[in-house]
Amino acid sequence: MNPRERKTGSGMAWTIARALLQLFLSVGVGVALARLLPPRDFGVVAIATGFAVLAEALAMAGLGSALIQKRRIRRATVETTWLLSLLLATLFLALFFAAAPILSLWFDAPELKPILTIIGTAQAVMTLGIVPRALLRRHLHLKRLALIDLLSYALGYAAVSVTLAWHGWGAVSLAWGFFAWWLLATLLCWHASRIRVWRPRWSVQEGTVIVQYGLTLSAKGFLVYLGGALDSLILGWLLGPAPLGLYQRAAQLASIPLQRLGATVGHVMFPAFSLIQQNRVKLACALLDAQKTLALVCYPILAALAAVPEVVIVALYGDAWRDAAPILRILALIAMLDLTHHLAGPLLEACGRAKKELRLQSGYLGLLAVSLLVAAPLGLRAAAWAHLIPSLYLLATMGTVALGLLRLDWRPWLGANRAGLALAAATALTALLLSFAVRTALPSASPITEFLIVVLGCASVYGVGLWRIPGPHQRWWRKEGALND
């Protein structure tokens, strides 16, 4: 294993560890804040952060990825990107300040105005960190980024928001938590990157390339954001808030492996793919290794959710949410399809095929909208199944383009998922058997007891399965000449 592969593997381990730790920390912080603040405060801040997430998707996906993907960068490249990030930060600041009074009247929430100004300032600060964060990712300094993200979240959002909420600041405490989080993350990224670019300058040659590539990825980021919001828009419109609440709770659980772990692996692999984009064999090995890791990590979790959704829902949220269990089963199975082609996106972006991905994502979004409009009147289960055809479309199209780029057929890619699928089947069977055994032998056991027994049993099977799976050096595609023409 060469130094670059070791650096990528280490970075993936650190990034996955960061995602898991931040997940557990965010659950604890959420519980604390839920006991200190009423639901309306969370709703008001959710409106403001919804616009901030859209701005982040447009900025980070465009400029940051453009700086990572370029095969060679010069000082002019960094300075031009730094100038563009300054312009974007100014634009976001002006838009948030201008929209604050209008949106506060539109949503009939006077407290939204100061929150939007704070969130807008925080978003501008985060935009100023695009250059150092992108350079850290480009050079695979992923351990530094993982530590930065953990420290900024713990010392910024967690500490500030909980402290201010404890002292009665209300919804504004959440906004100041976001500001402290993003400010600390930006400062730490500048310090860790060890670059000092204080004179932003425009280079026509570099700027043209960055803007062209960045606009494509920004458009793709907007489509991904819109695709995530499409369920809420259509189901809320056709079915109302109560059914939407059930659906969203199930969708949130089913999306954890993809959003927390799948996105983390993609975050690591994009700069790794970019560095070896000219070497087809290394690129194919990296893709297959990453896909096998993703399958081993995520498929067993999704399989367990699909096997015993009622156990999970009732133990975590209570009996009032029991109707979300069948929806969780459907969405967890479809999420396994989405994870199969998840790494095709970073691969195409790293190899300069972002426009092709944009066209495929546009087709997926249109197909999803039509499917939801047709299925939603039939109920929540039909709405969940409406994701199946769009997901199969994206698997077929993205997979075909990615494999054509690498000059591979489907066998190695699907073969990379084989160990994860076997482990998922064992985990799901264990969950079903343990749930049946608890309900038969301990009929008076509480839902939490049943949940803990199932989790411990699945974790044991998972650990044994991982121990028996071959390491990267034993995989057939790494043998000499296995992927050559």
For the chain, the average pLDDT equals: 80
Query: Mean pLDDT lowest for which of 184-198, 239-253, 387-401, 417-431?
Result: 239-253
Mean pLDDT comparison of 257-271, 340-354, 393-407, highest-scoring range: 393-407
Residue 113 has pLDDT above 90, yes or no: no
Provide the pLDDT for residue 217: 66
pLDDT at 474: 45
| Between 58 and 350, residue with greater pLDDT | 350
pLDDT tier, 481 (very low <50, low <70, confident <90, very high otherwise): very low
> Any alpha helices (H) in 341-409, and if so which ranges?
344-350, 354-375, 380-385, 388-406
- State the pLDDT at residue 479: 47
pTM: 0.69
Which residues in 237-252 are b (16+ Cβ under 10 Å) and which e? eebeeebbebbbbbbe
User: Is 141's pLDDT higher than 60?
Assistant: yes
Do 226 and 365 touch, CB atoms closer than 8 A? yes
CA distance 199 to 181: 26
Q: Interior CA angle at 169 toward 167 and 175, to 5°?
A: 125
Q: Is the pLDDT of residue 60 over 70?
A: no
What confidence score (pLDDT) does residue 43 get?
A: 63
